[in-house]
Chain A
Amino acid sequence: DIVLTQSPDSLAVSLGERATIKCKSSQSVFYTSNSRNYLAWYQQKPGQPPRLLIYWASTRESGVPDRFSGSGSGTDFTLTISSLQPEDVAVYYCQQYYSTLSTFGPGTKLEIK
């Protein structure tokens, strides 16, 4: 299985400041045939199901605020929230769909400082 690790486990950021979450894959999730990274990001608020934020590592899902952005390639990826808002408090997960056996990262808990 492809193992995803995330860092940090948790972080606290002041309102309006930048939040950065990293996801590292045990093997590349980049397909050379179509030049795409098979990685997605999700947000989960307490008591709610996860919500898709980003797919193809950097494509924002419809309706997701543009303060959310994804970057990276191969094995190293980053989710950035450019200006933290109160409603961004949540746990964030990365997911690889490069393999038919999909896997998620362990999650990063984001709080307000």
Chain B
Amino acid sequence: EVQLVESGGGLVKPGGSLRLSCAASGFTFSSHSMNWVRQAPGKGLEWVSSISSGSGGYIYYAESLKGRFTISRDNAKSSLYLQMNSLRAEDTAVYYCVRGEGDILNWFDSWGQGTLVTVSS
């Protein structure tokens, strides 16, 4: 069974940083592209970032992030990460770790339960 478990969320002040982690199990982690998708309270889904399978040589970010976030993966640990810097109130959301199916152009076939990030003073 595919499992994706996010951690690292919490309350952070504007301008602060957080690092989200996602522990994956139940599948060959290195064979799948991985993604972060977020959902602000009461709002819709927003794709954040994608990293390709294997060594993760292809990385993409939503333009709205303007270089503040960095996605990475550690295949030896079956883990996905999201380093978030210069956080703003509008980054407040549940962040989902999502497995991609297909190549880098992928649909999202398995989702974690999410971790809540709250940016507030």
Binding site for B on A (CB under 8 A): 1, 38, 40, 42, 44, 49-52, 55, 61, 91, 93, 95, 97-107
Contact = CB atoms under 8 A, between A and B. Distances in A.
B93 to A, nearest CB: 13
Contacts, number: 60
Contacts of A103: 47
Contacts of A95: 45, 47, 107-108
Nearest to A99: B105
Given A50-B45, A55-B107, A97-B105, 12 more contacts: A49-B96, A49-B111, A49-B112, A52-B107, A52-B108, A95-B45, A97-B102, A101-B60, A101-B63, A104-B45, A105-B44, A106-B44
Interface of B: 35, 44-47, 50, 58, 60, 62-63, 96, 101-102, 104-114
Contact of A52 (B44, B109, B113): B109
Contacts of B112: 49
A50 B96 CA distance: 9
A103 B109 CA distance: 15
Nearest to B62: A101
Contacts of B104: 100
B105 A100 contact: yes
